[in-house]
Each structure stands twice: as C-alpha cells, then as structure tokens.
Amino acid sequence: MKSKIFIACDSTSVSKVKKIIKDTQTPRLQIGYKFGLEFLNSKNGRKFVSKLKNQITFGDFKFADIPNTCSSAVKAIKDLQLNYCTIHISSGLEALKAAKKVSGKTKIIGVSILTSLDNKALKEIGYNKDVKKLVLHQAKLAQKAKLDAIVCSAQEVKIIRRVFNKEIITPGIRFNSEKGDQKRVLTPKKAFKNGSDWLVIGRPITKGNIKNNVKKLIDHLN
C-alpha cells in the first residue's frame, strides 16, 4: 500500500502551486494537495482549485462558527468539489453535525488542537487540560458527530485511535529537529508507525528542490 501524503500548497501564487503539483507527481506515493486560507483567499486561488481535476483536494478552511454559518459555509464551497474540508472541533457538536449533514461527497475533517500549540500556549488561551486530554476529548466529539476524519499531531494518534475509527490526518511533520513555528512534531516514518493514515507535509517538501525533497521522503520511508 502506498503511503498517503497531502502536500501543503502554502502560497498565494498559482504558478508556484502549479510547480508544486508538477514536481510532486510520483507513482511511489499517493499524493493529495492541501490548500489553506493563504491560497484559497488569494485573487486566483479559489478559481484554480475549482478547476483542478484528477487530484485529491483538501480545502483547509478551518471553519469555526455557529451551526447555521458552518453549514452555509460548507454549501458555499460545493463548487470546488473538494475531497476534504476542515472545521474546528471546538465549534461544538451541533456545528459539526450541521457541517456534516450538508457536506455531500466532501469528507468533513475535525481539527483538534493545532500543532503550533503546546501546554503553555493552551494555558495562555484559557484551557486547563493538557494537550493529550483535550485532544482525546475532542476526538470523542468528532466520533459522536460522525465526522469522516480528524486532524491532530502524530504524537496523539495512538490516543485518538482508541475513540475515533475513521481517517487520521497528521500535520507537523519534520525530517529533523527543526520545528519552525510548530511545537508537536514527528518524522514521517514515526507518524506512520503511530498509525497516521495521511501526513500533511509543507515546507520540508516545497522549500528548495521539490523533486529532491520528494525523493528524500521516499528514501526516508523505505
């Protein structure tokens, strides 16, 4: 079975994203493309995604609002024909259910605690639970709402797998100790070993020579 990788297309440039897609084509991996707010809110980004056929697409909108707004937002992106779309689990059970109800063929992914946050950052926001307990609690909510997938750090996959039986997607993937703006990171090999279904990889692939970086990833996984 091929390893499943979402390449994070974090850019406002359509030409840069086209190059990312072109240079990451490989029969060795199952590749999908994640488009975040940076690209989806850019002048030509949404239009580009709407015309992107024959690729696995992931719209990382991270909706977080009242139930009516979340369901309306999911309806508003139907024209993109996305395979996946994200909503913050912290929006609450009713908002999660509302988004799922109108999603059609698009899989709804619940976003747990962002991988850029750690226990210190959570306390600053006002949470009194540590990361692992909070993520486990959110995973139970995602399961209750019958979401199709969940996003979490690869460090928490084993915990989530106890209560969530659908796809688990893990960002915060790094080949080495350079974390950048991420806090809870893991290598690709360890992430898959923990049970991740999909990895989301951005800069370690898209920064520098993309083809060489893809080869490095394949060598690392082998």
The active-site residue, picked from 19, 62, 190, 216, is 62
Cβ-count burial of 222 within 10 angstroms (0-12 exposed, 13-18 middle, 19+ buried)?
exposed
Percent helix / strand / coil, the chain, rounded to 5: 45, 20, 35
62 is catalytic: yes
Structure token digits, residue 156: 């928490």
* Contact residues for 9 (Cβ-Cβ < 8 A; gap 6+): 17, 20, 21, 33, 34, 35, 36, 39, 206
Structure token digits, residue 58: 């992931």
For the annotated catalytic residues, the residue numbers are 62
